[in-house]
Amino acid sequence: MSANDEVLLDEFARIIANSTRLAVSTGAGISKESGIPTFRDAMDGLWARYDPEELATPSAFQRNPKLVWDWYTYRRELINAAQPNAAHYALVELENLLPQVVIITQNVDGFHDKVGNRNVIHLHGNIHRTKCADACKGEPTYIDLSQIEWNQDAGPPLCPYCKKAYARPDVVWFTEPLPSDALRQAYTVSRKADVMLVIGTSGLVQPAASLPFLAAEHGAKILEINPNPSTISNIATIRLEGGAAIILPKVVKRVRAYKKNSDE
């Protein structure tokens, strides 16, 4: 690490250590070092010829429910076989060090909850949950797959309540609205934040991508960790280039030191 990197890291950590209302916006990049490909990574193996943006839509599910169901089963199995990484654990420590930390995530892997973060807003749902595609008992009508028997090679089961619509993953697809409570909370947290830390998102999907801009308009400092430039990079006070699982633990180590010094 060069001297300049050290200075940037120190300044990055100092801004976080002084935060009283930290918002953390996370995207697929934070789970990359867990071995989960990001949304826009080229898909490999059986799925290489499909474009994720064409599978994650209501019309794709209508056209070919089995294809979309199988793709999500594949993604869920990848997640189940993976473990949260050092970046996820570093955010737990940050929550313990600072007065208020709220994570706003676009990820559906559930890793922030798995490691024990308490304040997590899920903008794009949860791949481990399943719901009725027709929301027959209201949105969302959750379905417990462990209670259903069906031929798993044939695609999704029918909803056990209406027996008409298919079961589908409880994730937000392109063209669908985000869960309204989650979105409302995310707007409030972004408006009130004094610092927003943006980790591992390309900033290509709205409305999630607008949250750092909203935070900045309301006076928050924006900090970014990403090996590549994103749509948010231009408004970042400091960006640290690199993988989250390497950089975030270094940042949190410095935050801990600042906190310890200021307590003494």
Q: Known catalytic residues?
A: 124
Contact 84, 115 (CB under 8 A): yes
* Residue 12 binding ligand OAD, by CB under 6 A: no
* Residue 31 binding ligand OAD, by CB under 6 A: no
* Residue 54 binding ligand OAD, by CB under 6 A: no
Nearest in space to 93 (alpha carbons), one of 199, 250, 212: 250
The nearer residue to ligand OAD, 28 or 101, going by C-beta atoms, is: 28
Give the angle 204-176-161 at the CA atoms, nearest 5°.
145
The neighbour count for residue 89, using CB atoms within 10 Å, is: 18
> Total number of residues binding ligand OAD (CB under 6 A)?
26
Distance CA 126, CA 130 (A): 8
* Residue 212 binding ligand OAD, by CB under 6 A: no
- Shortest distance (Å) from residue 264 CB to ligand OAD: 33
Distance CA 17, CA 9 (A): 12
* Residue 72 binding ligand OAD, by CB under 6 A: no
Helix (H) or strand (E) holding 239: strand 238-240
The nearer residue to ligand OAD, 18 or 38, going by C-beta atoms, is: 38
* Residue 218 binding ligand OAD, by CB under 6 A: no
* Residue 124 binding ligand OAD, by CB under 6 A: yes
- Shortest distance (Å) from residue 257 CB to ligand OAD: 23
How far from chain centre, in Å, is Cα 194? 20
- Tell whether omega for the bond before 58 is within 30 degrees of 0, i.e. cis: no
* Residue 122 binding ligand OAD, by CB under 6 A: no
Query: How is residue 136 annotated by DSSP?
Result: B
Residue with token string 């409570």: 181
The nearer residue to ligand OAD, 140 or 160, going by C-beta atoms, is: 140
* Residue 196 binding ligand OAD, by CB under 6 A: no
List contacts with ligand OAD (CB under 6 A): 27-30, 32-33, 38-40, 56, 106, 124, 172, 199-202, 204-205, 225-228, 230, 243-244
